[in-house]
């Protein structure tokens, strides 16, 4: 009898402990979906920022051939995915520079028919998407904790960004604050191990095909670069959810993020190019000059590099 009681007590304690772990504050509520593109993210279909991207997007049919693709200029960053001819690109300058698809590299996973390995993962402009994966062993070497509020207090992995991006983020948050817009970080860096664990969890739950529709395959989440962060208002409302689009925070970010080197990485109307639904909360650091140029031209990172649309058949 007393054994049973002890067992029950243990079970109860265990249950409570587990519940306690889940106690992740308002921020975390959105976080899981955000992080993981949680399937459970309820109403917000896109909720899985991290890469809830839809895979069923229709082909962009040429849209990425971007007539308005920027003409090469040396700022035109590293053709990070072009292994050999990086140097060549720089010298040829102009057209040659960006006219080539960014990734004619090697086969990355073998699973995705068109998966390539990002050749310069440390580049500030590295193009990481469903067709361009980070190398298996890549971990940014300069991760720091940006001095900005997050929706959670803990000093954990997802609070980190690469140094340059972190400093830019601090300026962005300060500027927003001056304009009466209080922002908070939701989720920034995510290690390969974390992404892998998440993805595998979803594969177990829903099968790989379905998991891929809402969670990024390890190596293809931009959060693994340490240059991306999901942002919300300081109240955490609509964090990483569709309804964030209608907030003043989203409006402010759309207008001012480029001034600090960030782009709205998955804009509305470009789903067929980025491979992701509109995610007004997902910021990607690319540097001020390029961010401003992209914003002025209304183009995505894929278009900037004349890369193949992600959803191309
Ligand atoms: Zn994100």
Catalytic residues: 279
More confident residue, 100 or 256: 256
Question: What CATH number is given to the structural domain containing 183?
Answer: 3.30.1380.10
Output the CA 313–ligand 1 centroid distance in Å.
24
Q: pLDDT class for 57, splitting at 50, 70, 90?
A: very low
26-30, 103-107, 133-137, 300-304: least confident range: 26-30
Q: Mention every residue, 6+ apart, whose C-beta is less than 8 A from residue 1.
A: none
Output the CA 177–ligand 1 centroid distance in Å.
22
Position 100 in a domain: no
Output the CA 264–ligand 1 centroid distance in Å.
10
This prediction has a pTM of 0.67
What is residue 125's predicted lDDT score, i.e. its pLDDT?
A: 97
C-alpha pair distances (Å), 7 with each of 18, 19, 20, 40 = 16, 18, 20, 32
13-22, 126-135, 282-291: least confident range: 13-22
Span 80-96, pLDDT tens digits: 333 333 333 333 333 33
Average pLDDT over residues 66-86: 35
What is residue 35's predicted lDDT score, i.e. its pLDDT?
A: 38
What is residue 311's predicted lDDT score, i.e. its pLDDT?
A: 64
What is residue 232's predicted lDDT score, i.e. its pLDDT?
A: 97
Q: Where are the alpha helices (DSSP H) in the chain?
A: 2-22, 25-36, 86-92, 94-99, 163-178, 192-206, 208-214, 248-256, 271-274, 288-297, 301-304
Position 189 in a domain: yes
Q: Is the pLDDT of residue 50 over 80?
A: no
Output the CA 72–ligand 1 centroid distance in Å.
28
Position 147 in a domain: yes
Output the CA 26–ligand 1 centroid distance in Å.
17
The three-state secondary structure class of 291 is: helix
Question: Which structural domain, as residue segments, surrounds residue 242?
Answer: 130-304
More confident residue, 243 or 212: 243
Position 42 in a domain: no
**242-249 own/partner pairs: CB under 8 Å, 24+ apart:** 242/43, 242/44, 242/45, 242/46, 242/47, 242/278, 243/44, 244/280, 244/281, 245/278, 245/280, 248/181, 249/176, 249/181, 249/182, 249/183
Span 217-265, pLDDT tens digits: 999 999 999 999 999 999 999 999 999 999 999 999 999 999 999 999 9
Position 187 in a domain: yes
More confident residue, 88 or 47: 47
91-95, 113-117, 195-199, 221-225: least confident range: 91-95
What is residue 161's predicted lDDT score, i.e. its pLDDT?
A: 98
More confident residue, 253 or 28: 253
109-113, 120-124, 153-157: least confident range: 109-113
Q: pLDDT class for 205, splitting at 50, 70, 90?
A: very high
Output the CA 186–ligand 1 centroid distance in Å.
9
Position 293 in a domain: yes
Position 266 in a domain: yes
How many domains are there within the chain?
1
When the pLDDT of each residue in the chain is averaged and rounded to a whole number, the result is 74
Output the CA 79–ligand 1 centroid distance in Å.
23
Residues with CB under 5 A from ligand 1 (ion): 49, 230, 282
Output the CA 175–ligand 1 centroid distance in Å.
21
Instruction: Give the chain's radius of gyration (CA, Å).
Output: 20
Output the CA 196–ligand 1 centroid distance in Å.
16
Among 106-115, 179-188, 267-276, name the most confident range: 179-188
Q: pLDDT class for 22, splitting at 50, 70, 90?
A: very low
3-17, 83-97, 101-115, 145-159: least confident range: 83-97
Joined together, the tokens standing for residue 189 give 């860096």
């Amino acid at each position: 009898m007393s054994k049973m009681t002890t067992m029950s007590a243990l079970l109860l304690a265990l249950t409570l402990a587990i519940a306690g772990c889940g106690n992740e504050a308002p921020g975390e509520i959105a976080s899981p979906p955000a992080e993981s593109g949680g399937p459970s993210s309820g109403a917000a279909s896109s909720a899985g920022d991290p890469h809830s991207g839809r895979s069923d997007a229709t082909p962009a049919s040429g849209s990425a051939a971007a007539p308005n693709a920027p003409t090469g200029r040396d700022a035109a960053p590293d053709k990070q995915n072009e292994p050999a001819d990086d140097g060549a690109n720089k010298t040829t300058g102009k057209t040659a520079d960006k006219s080539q698809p960014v990734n004619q590299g090697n086969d990355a996973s073998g699973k995705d028919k068109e998966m390539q390995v990002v050749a310069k993962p440390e580049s500030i402009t590295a193009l990481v998407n469903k067709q361009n994966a980070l190398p298996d062993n890549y971990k940014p070497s300069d991760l720091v904790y940006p001095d900005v509020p997050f929706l959670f207090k803990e000093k954990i992995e997802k609070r980190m960004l690469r140094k340059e991006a972190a400093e830019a983020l601090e300026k962005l948050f300060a500027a927003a604050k001056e304009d009466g817009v209080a922002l908070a970080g939701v989720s920034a860096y995510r290690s390969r191990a974390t992404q892998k664990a998440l993805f595998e969890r979803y594969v177990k739950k829903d099968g790989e095909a379905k998991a891929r529709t809402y969670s990024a395959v390890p190596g293809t989440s931009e959060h693994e670069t340490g240059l991306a962060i999901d942002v919300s208002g300081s109240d955490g409302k609509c964090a990483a959810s569709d309804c964030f689009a209608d907030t003043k925070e989203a409006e402010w970010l759309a207008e001012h993020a480029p001034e600090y080197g960030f782009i709205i990485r998955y804009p509305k109307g470009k789903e067929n190019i980025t491979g992701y639904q509109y995610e007004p909360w997902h910021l990607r650091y690319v540097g001020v000059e390029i961010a401003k140029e992209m914003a002025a031209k209304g183009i995505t990172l894929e278009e900037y590099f004349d890369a193949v649309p992600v959803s191309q058949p």
